Amino acid sequence: MAAFALAYGLAGFGYIVTATFLPVIARQALPGSVWLDLFWPLFGIGVAAGSFTAITLFAMQEARRLRPQNASTLIGLLTAAYGLGQIVGPPMVAWLLHRSASPGQGFAWSLQAAAAGLAIGGALFAALARLHPQTPAVRPT
């Protein structure tokens, strides 16, 4: 279950870097654009519509499937891993910004790190899906 927690932590990392710094990056790339003022309201609508909550719902459902007798422990581990990913993201961005030649380069490196984290997390989830396939529900005939 460590791989599941790591994958979920990487999802938290990739999410927080993008959600926190994308508006700053967009302001630098698109100065004066009306879309920048609409970013957070549109983002809020998207989150409320379910994409963020769906990820959480699916992860908790998977925890219950994998550990039906002790799901709460795995859910706690997943929550801690996601939170740790969110804690690590912003300081990593600050570190990359400090070591880059320009803010644009630092933000580019940050988004690349977030994308890599999400890709690795996705690959882990795919590997786990192959290792722990869902069994079809048995229905009475």
Per-residue confidence at 137, pLDDT binned at 50, 70, 90? low
Helices and strands of the chain, counted as H and E runs: 5, 0
Q: What is the pLDDT of residue 133?
A: 82
Q: What is the pLDDT of residue 139?
A: 53
Q: What is the pLDDT of residue 50?
A: 62
Q: What is the pLDDT of residue 19?
A: 82
| pLDDT over threshold 70, residue 15 | yes
| pLDDT over threshold 60, residue 140 | no
Q: What one-character-per-residue DSSP string does the chain give? A: -HHHHHHHHHHHHHHHHHHHHHHHHHHHHSTT-THHHHHHHHHHHHHHHTHHHHHHHHHHHHHHHH-TTSHHHHHHHHHHHHHHHHHHHHHHHHHHHHHSSSHHHHHHHHHHHHHHHHHHHHHHHHHHHHHSPPPPPP---
Q: Model confidence over 105-133: pLDDT tens digits?
A: 998 999 999 999 999 999 998 998 898 88
Q: What does pTM read for this prediction? A: 0.78
Q: Model confidence over 33-83: pLDDT tens digits?
A: 777 777 778 777 776 666 666 777 788 888 888 888 988 998 999 999 999
